[in-house]
A and B are shown apart, each in its own frame.
Chain A
Amino acid sequence: MEFLKIDDIHHTYFTKTSAVTALSDVSLDVAEGEFVSFLGPSGCGKTTLLSIIAGLIKPTEGLVELEGKKVGTKDNEIGYMLQQDYLFPWKTIEENILLGLKISGSLEKDKIQYAHDLLEKMGLQSVEPLYPKQLSGGMRQRVALVRTLATEPKLLMLDEPFSALDYQTKLNLENLVSNTLKSFGKTAILVTHDIGEAIAMSDRVYLFSPGPGHIHKMFHIPKELRDLTPFHTRNHEAYTDIFQSIWKELESIEPEDKY
């Protein structure tokens, strides 16, 4: 039995004026402890797929199972970090990181301590009484990650978490997140449109193509890259090869004359 099983998902958004098919015929599996990336141009249904996996949207067709059970939002088994940090501006950092525990009614001493420890692990000391807007973009993103991890989800999903950050912050955070998740043995899905990031962070990469969104191709990241930190992966000789082959595929689905 697979850890996460996504079986033949179709999804169409219905509005008064149109019916947009965002996903068609998407099936994939993720093993426990695995790090998988969804790569693809915008509009190919990546965010939609994450929402379906999180149980926020019911797909028009298909099934998502986590450890053999249908997913729902009640069990707090899936942590989902949205495309922007969406920290609540009227809450302090402390209130923000404890939000998940508060909502699920599990504000227990050891869990609160765990959240605070995570914050420290993310390199954020004594920011608890501050408000989100007093922090930089990279710090906010780390706080959002702590908020998501604080409920100890079995599966973590990150939707383009580094896309709004400057390059250096992005590289540092890639390392930090990758190390943290590895140390917890967390299963994770990362959505990105950055080929380098997908290679640096993951064990496998799913390339999506639009119109309607479907899996175009799946890539295994070579073993020698998987065990390296993202930063070292980018400097490894095998990196260029896999980058080239993903780049070629991406070109074929996103013709150059679009620009």
Chain B
Amino acid sequence: MSLKTNTELLHQQFIHSLNREKRWVRFYQFLIFIVIFAGWEIASRLQWIDPLIFSAPSKVWNLLIVKIQDGSLWLDLSFTLSETVLGFILGTLLGTLLAALLWWSPFLSKILDPYLVILNSMPKVALGPILIVALGPSFTSIVAMGAIISVIITTIVVYTSFREVDPNYIKVLQTFGGTRYQIFKEAILPSSFPVIISTLKVNVGLSWVGVIVGEFLVASKGLGYMIIYGFQVFNFTLVMLSLLIIAVLATIMYQVVELIEKKLIKNN
């Protein structure tokens, strides 16, 4: 056998073993899923866990069908999703803009430094009641909750990455007579894209927290409201349904961010 065909053969075996491993990974992932939901269903039916508190997958499923048919699910879902997406975008954009402003004026950044530290260490959801009083118990104040929870940490992380850009890239632009704006656009911002993307990923989770807490406080619809309402009337099937939907939506949002990452960072 020639060396070449031997290498090809080995390569095929290698690919084959990779594929086999991938199939096993998928299998076990699926198995865990089945075990969790089947275990949950069985435990609930056999009264190992209190079915009143922990509900059961079949009940959640039935409720889902009912809520899809009467259209109320779509209402709650779209309400919460739009709040979260808006809060997420606002928080990230404002945070990045603030970071740009701090980069633009090192003097301002020195002045604001202690305030950023204070705001960052503050539990932002504690501001909820104040936001509600200021903006009214509405969509706006819930979006504000979703945004405020991520804006300061975004500012700090992105600003740090702006400052850590290798000064020699700036020097290159300066030798061409680059203005501060050109330096920002050509070097500072693009070299911080990886950091901005990773804050996006964190912000997906944060804005869900902000919005759900916001809905706990004021809403009369939405997934957060479904949780708090289900809790009050002791309908835990409703709570579980809402939790599962949130898990699915948050995951989808995360995937979208990863898609943006692939689009934005071309040179990998």
Contacts and interface: CB of A to CB of B under 8 A. Distances in A.
Contacts of B232: none
B205 interface: no
Interface string B166-205: 1011011111111000100011001101000000000000
Nearest to B178: A103
Contacts of A131: 266-267
B186 A103 contact: yes
Interface in B215-268: 265-267
Nearest to B179: A103
Nearest to B191: A90
A86 B266 CA distance: 18
Contact of B175 (A54, A90, A133): A54
Contact of A99 (B166, B171, B176, B265): B176
A73 B175 contact: yes
Contact of B177 (A82, A88, A90, A103): A103
Interface residues of A, number: 24
A80, A83, A133 — most chain B CB neighbours (10 Å): A80
A115 interface: no
Contacts of A82: 168, 171-172
A197 B122 CA distance: 60
B43 to A, nearest CB: 52
A78 interface: yes
Contacts of A104: 176-177
Nearest to B265: A90
Query: Would you call the interface of chain B mostly helix, strand, loop, or mixed?
Result: helix
B169, B176, B182, B186 — most chain A CB neighbours (10 Å): B176
A158 to B, nearest CB: 12
Contacts of A56: 171, 174-175
Contact of B182 (A75, A76, A80, A103): A103
A74 interface: yes
A58 B196 CA distance: 34
Contact of A89 (B175, B176, B267): B267
A210 interface: no
Contact of A133 (B169, B186, B267): B267
A255 B218 CA distance: 78
Interface in A29-60: 51, 54, 56
A131 B267 CA distance: 7
A103 B173 contact: yes
Nearest to A153: B175
B176 A90 contact: no
A99 B172 CA distance: 10
Contacts of B166: 86
A76 B176 contact: yes
A79 interface: yes
B187 A88 contact: yes
B187 A73 contact: no
Contacts of B175: 54, 56, 73, 78-80
Interface string A87-107: 011100000000110011000
Interface in A179-221: none
Nearest to B166: A86
Contacts of B171: 51, 56, 82, 86
A74 B190 CA distance: 24
Sorted from nearest, which 3 A-B pairs have the closest CB atoms? A103-B176, A80-B175, A100-B176
Interface of B: 166, 168-169, 171-178, 182, 186-187, 190-191, 193, 265-267
Interface of A: 51, 54, 56, 73-76, 78-80, 82-84, 86, 88-90, 99-100, 103-104, 131, 133, 151
